[in-house]
Amino acid sequence: MDSSRFNTRLLSDIQNSPTPFHVVHRMSGLLLERGFKRLHERDNWGELGGSYFVTRNDTSIIAFQTTPQNIHSGGIHMVGAHTDSPCLRVKPNPVINKQGYLQLSVEVYGGVLLNPWFDRDLSLAGRVTCRDRDMAIRSVLIDFGRPVAMIPSLAIHLDPDANHKRGINAQTDITPILLCQAEAKTHDFHLMLQQQIERQHKNIPIDKVLAYELSFHDMQAPAIIGLNNDFIASARLDNLLSCFIGLRAFLEADTAPAKLLICNDHEEIGSVSGSGAQGDFLETVLQRLAGSDEQLARLTDRSMLISCDNTHGIHPNYSDRHDANHAPILNQGPAIKTNANQRYATNSETGAYFRQLCEQAEVPVQDFAARSDMRCGSTIGPITAARTGIKTVDIGIPQFAMHSIRETCGSRDTEYLYKVLRHYFSDTGPLRHQP
Ligand code: CO
């Protein structure tokens, strides 16, 4: 496979998915193109056999491919990832006029690394919910798709200690600027949204904007960088990289075992929501696939989840932040993540299985464990395992600058991840229980 072509497609998927709504919209489109049928949770699904997907809240998606036979004989091979990334969200009454500038007040979503948000060309995107001219409430996705705002740094002359001491106050220091002078005073934010909807959705007659979930994102396009093109730089690599590579592996694997891909929203804020991993989305889909409690228990025991989320690659300038023996390096393959306190769901059996998959797919594999004196991150892995009882391994490719507005990963790791996930989705044997 041509690695630069592989990455070009991935980067285009990520660039065109500025919010979880857009991620799910894009994934749905790719699934429809491949002949998958859209199911709705409110409908009767009847007997299922074939290729389907279902979404919840427009921000979480489950795709699955089964036959009535393979689902009960072999269990389901699942991959999980998350659709959300840390960002700045616009508040409900956001308009601020200060010194003649129009600003929008924002709230920090997730663990944003705030420094890199300064001096970026920011666009605005998300879901807007409106009343149409028939008085029906409906939602549409918008993306201004151009730099409509920025958060300027304070000059070093006005803060000589900036390089040693500058902290960032989330209420006062990161309010984006959109306009200056006269227009700022009379600005109608809802009208501005309505005009954007009219530009993007010409056939939807909007009466009024009622509410929205909008966030800012960086307009800088993703790029392949480094003297030898070793790196990928982009927003939202955590975790759209895993979503789109997971989807591609899912679509391109052989159809033998039953398989499922789940991408949840709200991982970055703890997963507690109807569409997050602590919600019952996966559980209810599995229940409907299994048919009865007895069948569900058997299906669960035969199934497996690879929870796929990027991990921290060791940074040469800050190498003491890693445990030296568990410090993944970019372009040396995905890492198996282990934590004794179950911040990662990996156990010796699921870890061993993933290691073997890598061996069979000829993909290098590494290990990640946090320093014992530092807090360890987490993923949807342990949460999903706790809710469903499914055997789970947490893995992910290493990256720099997690939760920055521009993250970096290795340009060869993307294909390594694809190869091992594709092999897993096609693998017919190893989930079977030993006699
Ligand atoms: Co993540």
User: 311: CA distance to ligand 1 center in Å?
Assistant: 8
Residues of the chain above pLDDT 70, percent: 97
Distance CA 395, CA 373 (A): 22
Average pLDDT on 351-373 reads 97
pLDDT at 347: 97
User: 393: CA distance to ligand 1 center in Å?
Assistant: 15
Structure tokens at 140: 């549409």
Sheet holding 122-132, edge to edge: 137-143, 122-132, 206-218, 87-98, 101-109, 177-180
Amino acid at 246: G
pLDDT at 435: 41
Phi, psi of 184, rounded to the nearest 5 degrees = -60, -35
Between 430 and 91, name the one with better pLDDT.
91
Cβ neighbours of 158 (radius 10 Å)? 8
Phi, psi of 335, rounded to the nearest 5 degrees = -110, 145
User: 176: CA distance to ligand 1 center in Å?
Assistant: 25
Identify the structural domains of the chain with CATH numbers, from first to last.
3-85+235-426 (3.40.630.10), 87-218 (2.30.250.10)
Identify the three-state secondary structure at position 117: helix
Average pLDDT on 241-253 reads 97
Interval 256-304: pLDDT, tens: 789 999 999 999 999 999 999 999 999 999 999 999 999 999 999 999 9
User: 84: CA distance to ligand 1 center in Å?
Assistant: 8
pLDDT at 134 over 50: yes
Distance CA 386, CA 149 (A): 42
Tell me the angle at which helices 237-252 and 20-33 cross, rounded to the nearest 10 degrees.
10
Q: How would residue 236 be classed by pLDDT, with cut points 50, 70 and 90?
A: very high
Q: How would residue 184 be classed by pLDDT, with cut points 50, 70 and 90?
A: low
Distance CA 317, CA 347 (A): 32
Residues in the chain: 435
Instruction: Find out whether 83 and 24 touch, Cβ atoms under 8 Å.
Output: yes
Which run of H or of E encompasses 177? Answer: strand 177-180
User: 82: CA distance to ligand 1 center in Å?
Assistant: 7
User: 421: CA distance to ligand 1 center in Å?
Assistant: 18
Interval 6-43: pLDDT, tens: 999 999 999 999 999 999 999 999 999 999 999 999 99
pLDDT at 428: 77
User: 164: CA distance to ligand 1 center in Å?
Assistant: 29
Interval 50-97: pLDDT, tens: 999 999 999 999 999 998 777 878 899 999 999 999 999 999 999 999
Average pLDDT on 356-362 reads 97
User: 359: CA distance to ligand 1 center in Å?
Assistant: 25
Interval 107-130: pLDDT, tens: 999 999 999 999 999 999 999 999
pLDDT at 169 over 70: yes
Phi, psi of 175, rounded to the nearest 5 degrees = -80, 115
Distance CA 29, CA 36 (A): 9
pLDDT at 432 over 60: no
User: 241: CA distance to ligand 1 center in Å?
Assistant: 10
User: 48: CA distance to ligand 1 center in Å?
Assistant: 32
pLDDT at 430 over 60: no
Distance CA 433, CA 435 (A): 6
pLDDT at 70: 79
Give residues with Cβ within 8 angstroms of 171, minimum separation 6. Answer: none
For all residues of the chain together, what is the average pLDDT? 94
Identify the three-state secondary structure at position 115: helix
User: 386: CA distance to ligand 1 center in Å?
Assistant: 18
Average pLDDT on 130-134 reads 92
Whose tokens are 């956001």? That residue is 94
